[in-house]
Amino acid sequence: MVVKSELEKFGLHPVAVALGAVEIAEDIDELQKHDLNQRLRSFGFELIDGKKGRLVEKIKNLVVELVYEQNNQAKVNLSELIAQKLQLDYSYISHIFTEEAGLSIEQYYIIQKIEKVKELITYHEYSLSEIANQLNYSSVSHLSKQFKKVTGLTASHYRQLKESKRISIENL
């Protein structure tokens, strides 16, 4: 609804608006695309223009789905999974992703896993061992090394920082 409303405010006539896709009746130039993209970004959306951009978004969505929605499933080969889901050659997919996103699919996957680790650490529901198991790390040591490489902090130090910033309910 937000996207449709913003398109209409922008003077465009949306023909179809669905999750992740919009079809408009008019052709728009690059300046209009830029302005529309700025407006949509203020609502947390962005325009993805072109075949490569859409492919990159599909890959990102698959990685996020793998990390956030398929917890504790059997270990999967990331490259095989993505190639299979998109029905494209992985070397082509990898090249386009790196070219467009500025990092490899594997790097993006690791960043997403570390974000999930940070989330789980913040909730205090799981030990590092349980988190490592849930996200299919081979060991707590492997998780810890990746966490430090990405964040610059150890997972334990990160947990302590989060605890020191929290205010107990009694003190609110």
In a domain, 146, yes or no: yes
Q: Where are the alpha helices (DSSP H) in the chain?
A: 2-9, 30-41, 51-69, 78-86, 90-101, 105-123, 128-134, 140-151, 155-165
Residues 81 and 119 in one domain: no
Q: Give the pLDDT confidence of 99-117 residue by residue, as tens digits.
A: 888 999 999 999 999 999 9
pTM reported for the whole predicted model: 0.70
Residues 99 and 118 in one domain: no
In a domain, 171, yes or no: no
136-141 long-range contacts (CB < 8 A, ≥24 apart) are: 136/72, 136/73, 136/75
Q: Give the pLDDT confidence of 47-74 residue by residue, as tens digits.
A: 766 778 788 888 998 999 888 876 555 5
Domain hosting residue 121, numbered range: 109-165
The Cα 157–Cα 50 span in angstroms is 42
Residues 114 and 161 in one domain: yes
